[in-house]
Structure 1
Amino acid sequence: MIEAAMIWNEPNNKSHWDPEIDPGWARFAEMACLAGQAIHSANPRLPRVLGGMSPIDPCFLRNLEERGVLEQVDAVAVHGFPLDWNLWCIDEWPTKLAEIQRATSLPVWVSEVGVSSFGAEEVQAWGVDRTASLLKGRAPRIHWYSLYDLPRAWPATTRHREAEGSSYYRHFYMGLLREDGTPKQALDRFGDHTPAMGICQWFHFEDHRLDEGVAWLKRLNVRHLRTGLSWADSFRPNALAWFDRQMTALQDFDVTVTFCFTPEHLGIMPHHTSAPREPERFAEFCASMIERYAPTVAGTEHPINRVAVA
C-alpha cells in the first residue's frame, strides 16, 4: 500500500517551515536525519523521499547534503507551479529538473505540479497536456496537484494570504474537480496521461471527500497517489481511527505518505511550521506510522528508480 515515505513538505517554503526559527535549516536537517533513520529502522526496504522543494533550488539541496540529510533519503523531490506562483516559464520544466539532477545522484521526483483554473478552465486543461509532454519519462514519479479544489471555507496552508494579489486565491482552484465534486475541463485531459502521472491529494482530518475521491482516482486509472499523515493531527481525539480509515480506503494505490506539520504544543513556537523542540518526537511518529501501515515484507520491490510510462 505504501510505496514511499516523504519527510516533510516544502521545507524551503516559509508556509511549511519557519526560516526565522531555523534560518540555516540546521534544525530541519537534524530532524530529517533522525526521521530517515527511524523510517529505515522500521522498514529498510521502504524508499525515503526528501520533501519537495519549493522553490526549486540546488543551493538548498547542497546545504542539506553538507548536513548529512541526503545520506538518510533515497530520493529528493521538487514542486513547481510556473503558471501560478513561480517566476519561470512552464517550458523551463526540463531545465529546472536538470538543475537538481546535476546536484545529486539520487532520483528526483516531481511530487507536486499543477495549474489552477483561477483565470480560465481552458488554461488548466492546456496546462495538463503541456506538463505531461514536458515531464513524462523524465522523473520516476509525477504527482499532479490536485484532485479537488480546496473548499473555500477552509484556509489554505500558507502565510501569504492577500499580501500577494491573486496568489492566495489560486490555492482554491488547483483541482481537476470543483469543490462540489463536479468535473472541470482538465479532468478528461488528465485521464489521457495516467497511470504515468499520479495525483497529490491532501485528505484533511475526517475529510468528507475521501470515499468519493477514491472512486474518482480509480475511474481516472490513477496508480500513484501522494497524501499526508499529519503529525499535528495525531494528537486529535480519534486520530488513529481516522488514519486507519484513510489508509484502508487508499489500499489499492501505490501511496507516497508525507509526514509533516508540527503540533503546536511541541514547537519552539506554537505553529505547524515551527521546528520542534525535540526532533526525536517527529522521528518516533514517522516510525510508528511505518510500523502500522508499511511493515517489512520479505521480497518487497524497491520502486525508487522506476520511471512511470504511459
Structure 2
Amino acid sequence: MIEAAMIWNEPNNKSHWDPEIDPGWEKFGHMVKLAGRAIKEANPAIPRVLGGISPIDPTFIQNMAQRGAMDEIDVVAVHGFPLDWNLWKIDEWPAKIDEIRTVTDKPIWVSEVGISTFGAEEVQVFGLNRTAELLIGKAPRIHWYSLYDLPQAWGATTRHREAEGSSYYRHFYMGLLREDGSPKPSIEHFAKHAPAMGLCQWFHYEDHRLYDAVAWMKRLGVTYLRTGLSWADSFRPNALDWFDRQMEALADFDVTVTFCFTPEHRGIAPHHTSPPQVPEEFAEFCASMIRRYAPAKASVAA
C-alpha cells in the first residue's frame, strides 16, 4: 500500500517544527537518522523521503547532510506556493528545484504545490496549468495540494492562526473541491494533467470525506497520492482501526505516507511541533506502520 515513507512535514517551517526548542535542527537531524534506519530495517525497498521543505532552502539540506541525516534519506522533497505565501514568482519553479540540485544528487519531489481560491477561482485555474507546464518532466512526483478545501470548523495547522490575516484564511481554499464537495473550475483542468500530476490530501482522524475522495481521485485519473499517518493520532481510541480503513481505501494508489505530529504527552513541549522526548519512539512508530502496511517480502531460498 505504501510507495514511499516521508519523515515529517515542512521541518524548516515553524508551523511544523519548533525552532526555539531545536534552533539548529540537531534534534531533528538525529530523529531523521533514527527513523530512516528503522524504516529501512522494516522494509529496505521503501524509499525514505525527507519531509517536504518550506521554504525551499538549500542550506537546510546542507545542514541535514552535515548532521548525517541525508545518509538515511533516498529522496528530497520541496513545497511551494508562489501565488499565496512564497516571495518568488511561479515561473521560478524550475530554478527553485535547481537550487536544491546544487546541494544533493538525490531525486527531488514536489510533495506539495497549490493555489488558493481565496481571491478568485480563476487564479487557481491559471496557477494549476502553469504549474503543470513548469514541473511535469522536471520532478518525478508532483503532489497537487489539495483535493478538498479545508473545512472552516477544523482550523489550519499554523502557529499564529487568525493573527496571520489573509495568509491564514488562504489555507481553507486550496482544494479542487469546495468544502461542500462541489467542484471548482480547476478540477477539469487537473484531469488533463493526471496521471502525470498526483494529489496531496490529508485525512483527519475518522475523516468523513475518505470514500468520496477515493471516488473523485479515480474519476480524475489520479494514480499517486501523498497523505499522512499521525503519530499523535496513534494514541486515540481505535486508532489502528482508522489507519486500517484509510490505507485499505487507498490501496489502488501509489501512496507516499508522511509520518509526523508529536503527541502532546511525548513532546519536550506539549505541542505537535515539538521534538519528541524520546526520538526512538517516533522511529518505532514509523517502522510499525511500514511493517503493517508495507511489510518486506520474505526472501525465498534458492
Normalised to the residue count of structure 1, the TM-score between the two structures is: 0.95
**1:269 is aligned to 2:269:** yes
Tell me the SS of whatever aligns to 1:109: strand
Aligned to 2:78: 78
**1:178 is aligned to 2:181:** no
Aligned to 2:253: 253
**Per-residue deviation, 1:112:** 0.1
CA deviation profile, 1:153-203 (whole Å, cap 9, x unmatched): 001000132333200000000000000000001100100000000000000
CA deviation profile, 1:103-143 (whole Å, cap 9, x unmatched): 10000000000000000000001111000000000111000
Aligned to 1:66: 66
Aligned to 2:237: 237
Aligned to 1:152: 152
**Per-residue deviation, 1:298:** 6.4
CA deviation profile, 1:237-269 (whole Å, cap 9, x unmatched): 000000000000000000000000000000000
Tell me the SS of whatever aligns to 1:103: coil
Aligned to 1:20: 20
Tell me the SS of whatever aligns to 1:20: coil
Question: Equivalents in 2 of 1:123, 1:47: separation in Å?
Answer: 35
2:297 partner letter: V
Q: Following superposition, which runs of at least 4 residues in structure 1 exceed 6 angstroms of deviation? A: none
Tell me the SS of whatever aligns to 1:227: strand
Aligned to 1:87: 87
Tell me the SS of whatever aligns to 1:56: coil
Aligned to 2:36: 36
**Per-residue deviation, 1:12:** 0.3
**Per-residue deviation, 1:56:** 0.3
2:101 partner letter: Q
Question: Equivalents in 1 of 2:69, 2:197: separation in Å?
Answer: 27
**Per-residue deviation, 1:101:** 1.1
Residue 298 and residue 188 in structure 1: after superposition, are their counterparts in 2 closer, same or farther (change >3 A)? farther
Question: Equivalents in 2 of 1:6, 1:20: separation in Å?
Answer: 23
Normalised to the residue count of structure 2, the TM-score between the two structures is: 0.98
Identity of aligned residues (%): 75
The answer for unaligned runs of 5 or more in structure 1 is 300-310
2:5 partner letter: A
Question: Equivalents in 1 of 2:262, 2:164: separation in Å?
Answer: 25
Tell me the SS of whatever aligns to 2:102: helix
Q: CA RMSD in A?
A: 0.8
Tell me the SS of whatever aligns to 1:118: coil
**1:290 is aligned to 2:290:** yes
Tell me the SS of whatever aligns to 2:193: coil
Tell me the SS of whatever aligns to 1:93: helix
Question: Equivalents in 2 of 1:164, 1:95: separation in Å?
Answer: 28
Q: For 1:178-257, what aligned pairs fall within 5 Å after superposition?
A: 178-257=178-257
Aligned to 1:308: none
CA deviation profile, 1:13-46 (whole Å, cap 9, x unmatched): 0000000000000000010100000000000011
* Count of aligned pairs: 299
Q: For 1:118-133, what aligned pairs fall within 5 Å after superposition?
A: 118-133=118-133
Question: Equivalents in 2 of 1:8, 1:170: separation in Å?
Answer: 22
1:245 partner letter: R
Question: Equivalents in 2 of 1:60, 1:160: separation in Å?
Answer: 23
**1:101 is aligned to 2:110:** no
